[in-house]
Amino acid sequence: MHQTPKKSFFTFSLIPLLLVYTLIRFDSSLFVHLPKFPQCRTLIMPESVESEPFIASGSDDWQDQQKQQSDSRSYIVRFYHYKEAEAHWNYLQDNLKFKGWQWIERKNPAARFPTDFGLVAIDESVKELLLEKFIELNLVKDVSLDLSYQRIVLEEKSEKIGAFANGKKRPGKMFTAMSFSEDQNYAVANTSKLKISWNRHLLMQASPLMLLCFVMHNLLAIYKSQITSLLGAHELWSKGITGAKVKMAIFDIGIRAGHLHFRNIKERTNWTNEDTLNDNVGHGTFVAGVIAGQDEECLGFAPDTEIYAFRVFTDAQVSYTSWFLDAFNYAIATNMDVLNLSIGGPDYLDLPFVEKVWELTANNMIMVSAIGNDGPLYGTLTNPAYQSDVIGVGAIDYSDHVASFSSRGMSTWEIPHGYGRVKPDLVAYGHEIMGSKISTGCKRLSGTSVASPVVAGIACLLVSIIPENKQKGILNPASIKQALVEGATKLSGPNLYEQDVIWPWSGYLALHMQIKEEGAQFSGEIEGNITVKIYSPPAVGEKSRRSSSCALHLKLQVIPTPSRSVRILLDQFHSIKYPPGYIPIDSFDVRNDLLDWHGDHLHTTFHSLFDMLRDAGYYIETLGSPLTCFDANQYGTLLLVDLEDEYFLEEIKKLRDDVINSGLCLAVFADWYNVDAMIKMRFFDGNTHSWWTPVTGGAIVPALNDLLATFGDKILNGDFFFSCKQNRYASGTDILKFPRGSRSKMINFL
């Protein structure tokens, strides 16, 4: 039986983290090889030509030119092996004698190390042919568009802004709003509804009693802002544990040199097309302050940690996948220990980015990332925080409640073939936290971007406990995540989809259990052990592979198979979300996000429907395969809710037979489909240099009409009276068949 787990968050002391930090040895090697795929051929006769490199650096970066040119785009060419960039370029020139492509030379700190990818510009006129020729090369893994990311500063009092504003596409790739909010003028004491102004003139006008109340509230606000005190960091500092000799990589908007809040800025690197290393927005500095600040007003957790500031976003908060890939490769080459990414987005199909994250964690780097600021909706987890081997961090307030803005729910990129994974892994304080300003002083921010560096700072403290010569043999994403989760305090309030469930190994184990037919009426508990043997490659210096056994004790509550009348099947297979296509949002009231990227599922957007049906005594299952793959005799009702995909003829024929001959009930719910509205929702994406048009409306009504036409193609519409009120029947069909014993009423149109 599934037990409702409790939410993990950091307790008032870090000491329990040390007690559970056992010496776990786990090698998380990960190798992924994707099959090559054919591309459509264009009938263009190529000419043999040698490609000259285009040098991308400074303000003359290729991405700047891309904004002005629509005849070519940048593509990432990934190779199976690491080599010098020049070797990759020579290989392409020797084996690709075609006109219409150009090698882009990348001048950044990673250039002195071998790389596994190249950046090329491909003319649109020969794109299809060249992509096919690239893929045919033996050393080329794949080719993908160099996607751009954009995040926007989110002020607490303003409307949340992401990739869209006022219904229009902003520059860059689809990306969720920057995961923090800011209120420069007020601090809110959670024990009071009063807002306390920090303006100095109020002190001059206050009475003694008012002054005392003011000081008390300010002290409370300051104390609550000092999360290092709330989480017991001082106890570790007194023992000399301050994060020394830990290499902390902060992927953000940079940091200014000589900032007085930091004592150990080791290196600042720039991966953008702007000629600066400075943070001109304030986000990167704030994140660094939470991790390693030393100002008494806004202390960080690990003041002696070595800060490596990776500037991967411009002042306009735009970035490209290729910038991240180079920066990630540099982090691997320079042996970073912990990485913080207070970013997130819905593009889990950006394979170069996703797989590079896998490579980082396979190199034993601890990656911490904000889970997103798209709560309280379910299924709103962002990439990379929802990846298994990344520590995804949500936010709570000082009352230990999950913050309303914190994303939650399962990951949805596995749908329809699975239910996904529950995230975040941890929650930490992320409301009205004090951190460093760009140049001097402190400010208060809220968001999962704030909670993420809290966990990253604590991870630095944990890493610094282990002697340097033993760190690589002991520390890895699994061991750190386990120490953090098991050392955290459990919250009793949040439900299953706002918390982690099992111990945090960076992978998953799928187990299918089925009761034999003769046990269909059994009721009670079953329990037993399942033993799994795990093998991993030998470590450096070892000859034989490692093996270990893991015994899982399971206890399950078994109920008799429910009667057919209370079993409901929801069609998940025909539900589509962004990516890979432009699936529009269901509600026209949402102007800051035109894409339906949350994914419709019983445990996300439809969770209230799920709760209602379960409370009414129904049992709901999801169908992750075509309609031809389920036995209608086992279910009373098939639910088709807000679907976006078309149906095969075989499915239509089978469904008709299920309804007519097997007695299956069919319930269909759909929202808008309007061609004029879809045309108005078109936008031009400057990144891909193409117009994006919705592939359907909120639901694919024409396909549903085709599906239902087999039961009768009569379309009804008109006004009618019901319960003494005039109503409008906009569009629908008549009732072909109605369950025996049910009540129906004949209504005539006016």
CA nearest to 575, candidates 357, 379, 297, 340: 379
Cβ contacts of 319 within 8 Å, gap of 6 or more: 148, 149, 150, 272, 312, 313
Exactly one of 27, 142, 252, 279 is catalytic; name it: 252
Using CA atoms, how far residue 83 sits from 79, 89, 112, 330, 385, in Å, is: 9, 10, 11, 14, 30
DSSP readout, 423-484? E-SEEEE-SSEEEE-SSSSEEEEESHHHHHHHHHHHHHHHHHHS-HHHHHHH--HHHHHHHH
Exactly one of 217, 259, 261, 283 is catalytic; name it: 283
744 is catalytic: no
Give the span between the Cα atoms of 213 and 220, in whole angstroms: 11
Element (H, E) at 547: strand 546-558
Give the span between the Cα atoms of 337 and 33, in whole angstroms: 26
Exactly one of 449, 452, 464, 506 is catalytic; name it: 449
Phi, psi for 208 (deg, rounded to 5): -55, -45
Alpha helices in 487-617 (DSSP H): 607-615
Q: State whether residue 490 is helix, strand or coil.
A: strand
End-to-end CA distance of the chain: 55
Using CA atoms, how far residue 366 sits from 4, 28, 241, 476, 481, in Å, is: 28, 12, 18, 7, 9
Phi, psi for 594 (deg, rounded to 5): -85, -10
Cβ contacts of 40 within 8 Å, gap of 6 or more: 128, 132
DSSP 653: H
CA 440, 444, 447, 450 torsion: positive or negative? positive
252 is catalytic: yes
Give the span between the Cα atoms of 629 and 216, in whole angstroms: 66
Which residue carries 């009231």 as its tokens? 589
Phi, psi for 292 (deg, rounded to 5): -140, 20
607 is catalytic: no
**Which residues belong to the active site?**
252, 283, 449
